[in-house]
Chain A
Amino acid sequence: MNILSWIIYILTFLSVYVQVFFLITFIERRKHILIRDKRIELKEYPGVTVIVPCYNEEKTIAGTINSLLDLDYPKDKLRIMVIDDGSIDNTWEVIQEFEKFDNIEIFKKENGGKYTALNFALGKVTTPFLGCLDADSFVDSQALKRIMTYFDEKDTMAVAPSIIVDKPKNIIQGAQKAEYDMAIYNKKMLAFLGGIHVTPGPFSIFRKKVFDDLGPYRHAHNTEDQEIALRMQENHYTIEHCPDAYVYTSVPNSVKKLYRQRLRWIYGFVRNAMDYRRLFFKKRYGTLAFFTLPSGIISVLSVVFLFAMIVYNFINFVIHKIVEISAVGFHSSFVSMHFDFFFFNTKTIVFVSIILYTSVLTSLLLGRRMLEGKFRISFDIFYFMIIYSLIAPFWVLKALINATRDKESSWILEREVKTVKQ
């Protein structure tokens, strides 16, 4: 076995380890997963401010704000702040329509990136709780109430929702739907172990104390929602996950847009992990230090080495073909091998891969069961496995290259692609 094979075995082992880790947690804590399908009442309704930063979102912003207006939460307790981060389309005109609502405030500022829009609003927040909602997402009417129940626990400082892909229309979005369903399960398991490392842009709710104590959002390589979570973890602030608070988000509908988004995410993860490398394997940071951050690194490395193996095998195949052609020319009529079980590959790596894919599938189905109440196998899962195996290596490699060269992945650029294409 060559070195590459050894590396692949070790990374596969670690990837299976991650899935088993989640599964063990699930078996142990499954009774504690709270899924409510009925309307609930809270003992008290604390004030909440939801910040909606937007940049060139004229198509989706109205839907986002309307979903907030439809939230089942006392209107006098819910403030909505819409910040136009220097849009160059009609976003500002669209949001002006909402000025008439008492609990909506709108602001326009010079373009400075999402974190500047968030910080602009943070300075004006007076409620004890606040959250953010990306302008490409919509909330379920019960989401906020359900999230607020988690704050009954005094230690809970932030609560992340379950993010669902809004009406997937093509294969690319279908694949992401499967991925997001799995993320719901992963996130809940991480929450049980206190190891959440992202408080997603769409509708994570925080105690205002978090920002009072730890300071405002940072640029954080265009992934401010990862950085704030890491900063909270470093300060032992508990982050919860509310699996039945549903937020619907529009996801990239083409490979190019998906590529840009993931480039930003992975780049952000790598750079933030580098910035917070002091947390790795420190006992006092628990699951985040020993599991969440290392498993993120493992998945990045796995993609890179899997790609290396595919390239290596492909080069070998090409060399063999060249030798064959140089020996007998193009028109050799090799008799194709008849079906014989003997020639089935039964190397260990095949069975190990089956274990890995099965464990990923299990996670995905458990996520779907949390969401839909039943195990459901669909084509999305197939698209997810195929598309991500094929194209993930490209954004991961590019993100790593950019990370080492310190080249930013732009959120604005992502938006521009979206605007131009729409």
Chain B
Amino acid sequence: MQTQKQFDWKRYVIVFFITMGLFLTAFYISDYFSSKKLNQLQGIQDKISIDILSSETQYSLLSELSCKNISDSTLSSEMSELGNKLEWSQKNIGNTDEVNYLRKYYSLLEIKDYLLMKKISSRCGVKSAFVLYFYTTAQNCSECEKQGIVLSSLRERYPELRVYSFDFSTDLSAVKAMLDIYKIKDTALPAVVIDDERLTGFQSVEALESRIKQSFKLQEPITTTKKATSVKK
């Protein structure tokens, strides 16, 4: 039974390369899944983009004829799912170029959806409420996370409430225009805009809820409002 006493450096080098190979495989697999996920997001965004474009076109074509069809085509749940997935990707995949591109694209879709839904809501009298929410990274805005939680909770309570979130640092002219219009400063975040009124700093659930009810006539929570929305012009 011979034992090996000498220092066998070759063994150490070979094992190093094998281990390295295993790690590179892990990196590759992770990267593969990340890019698959980003492709999926791209797909969802393209679909939403087409849907918005289609709604816009339909709206222009039919003018005020068929409010029913148009309001049915709104994509609130898809938009919020996309929002969740993008937020997750940013946390778990990181701020890669692709993620940032998708986030810009998402901001643009939000603005388009906001404009279209506002028009539809006033034309067809659909019971909707709109909140524009401006935030930035946790390092620069300690209360943004809390504000986000408050808005998510409100959105669950009021399905008609449409929350559009914008990262202050988004490098996109359309978003910059929104910041200019509502005079949003990075020192006063989080900021919430309801019915053209700007509220800066953290807003509690109660404060926002009463503000929403007041301005948008969202009087009842889920059970009763559902009945109300089914009666359309």
Residues on A facing B (Cβ under 8 Å):
13, 16-17, 20-21, 24-25, 32, 34, 150, 153, 156, 191-194, 236, 238, 240, 283-284, 286-287, 289-290, 320, 323-324, 326-329, 332-335, 337, 342-343, 345-348, 350-352, 354-355
Q: Select from chain A the residue with minimum beta-carbon distance to B40.
A: A342
Contact status A328-B26, CB under 8 Å = no
What is the interface of chain A mostly: helix, strand, loop, or mixed? helix
Contact status B19-A17, CB under 8 Å = yes
**Chain B residues whose C-beta falls within 8 Å of the C-beta of A352 in the assembled complex:** 23, 26
**Chain B residues whose C-beta falls within 8 Å of the C-beta of A323 in the assembled complex:** 145-146, 149
Contact status A20-B18, CB under 8 Å = yes
- The CA of A345 and the CA of B40, in the complex, are separated in Å by 15
Contact status B3-A193, CB under 8 Å = yes
**What number of B residues sit within 8 Å (CB to CB) of A?**
39
**Chain A residues whose C-beta falls within 8 Å of the C-beta of B85 in the assembled complex:** 342-343
> Contacts A328-B205, A342-B37, A347-B30; is A286 near B5 (CB within 8 Å)?
yes
Q: 12 A–B contact pairs at CB < 8 A? A: A16-B22, A16-B23, A20-B22, A32-B1, A284-B7, A320-B145, A324-B149, A328-B150, A332-B153, A333-B156, A348-B26, A355-B25
Of B9-17, B50-58, B111-119, which stretch is located at the interface?
B9-17
Contact status B88-A238, CB under 8 Å = no
**Chain A residues whose C-beta falls within 8 Å of the C-beta of B6 in the assembled complex:** 286
Contact status A20-B88, CB under 8 Å = no
Contact status B1-A351, CB under 8 Å = no
**Chain A residues whose C-beta falls within 8 Å of the C-beta of B3 in the assembled complex:** 191-194, 238, 240
User: Which residues of chain B (2-47) have a CB below 8 Å from chain A?
Assistant: 3-8, 11-12, 14-16, 18-19, 22-23, 25-27, 29-30, 33-34, 37, 40
> Contacts A342-B40, A347-B30; is A327 near B205 (CB within 8 Å)?
yes
User: Which residues of chain B (59-82) have a CB below 8 Å from chain A?
Assistant: none
Say if the beta carbon of B223 comes within 8 Å of chain A.
Answer: no
Contact status B156-A334, CB under 8 Å = yes
Q: What's the minimum C-beta distance from A363 to chain B, rounded to whole angstroms?
A: 14
**Chain A residues whose C-beta falls within 8 Å of the C-beta of B88 in the assembled complex:** 342-343
Say if the beta carbon of B230 comes within 8 Å of chain A.
Answer: no
Q: Select from chain A the residue with minimum beta-carbon distance to B41.
A: A342
- The CA of A230 and the CA of B146, in the complex, are separated in Å by 57
**Chain A residues whose C-beta falls within 8 Å of the C-beta of B84 in the assembled complex:** 337
- The CA of A296 and the CA of B220, in the complex, are separated in Å by 64
Q: Mark B106-138, 1 if CB is under 8 A from A, else 0.
A: 000000000000000000000000000000000
**Chain B residues whose C-beta falls within 8 Å of the C-beta of A347 in the assembled complex:** 30, 92
**Chain B residues whose C-beta falls within 8 Å of the C-beta of A150 in the assembled complex:** 1
Q: Mark B170-204, 1 if CB is under 8 A from A, else 0.
A: 00000000000000000000000000000000001
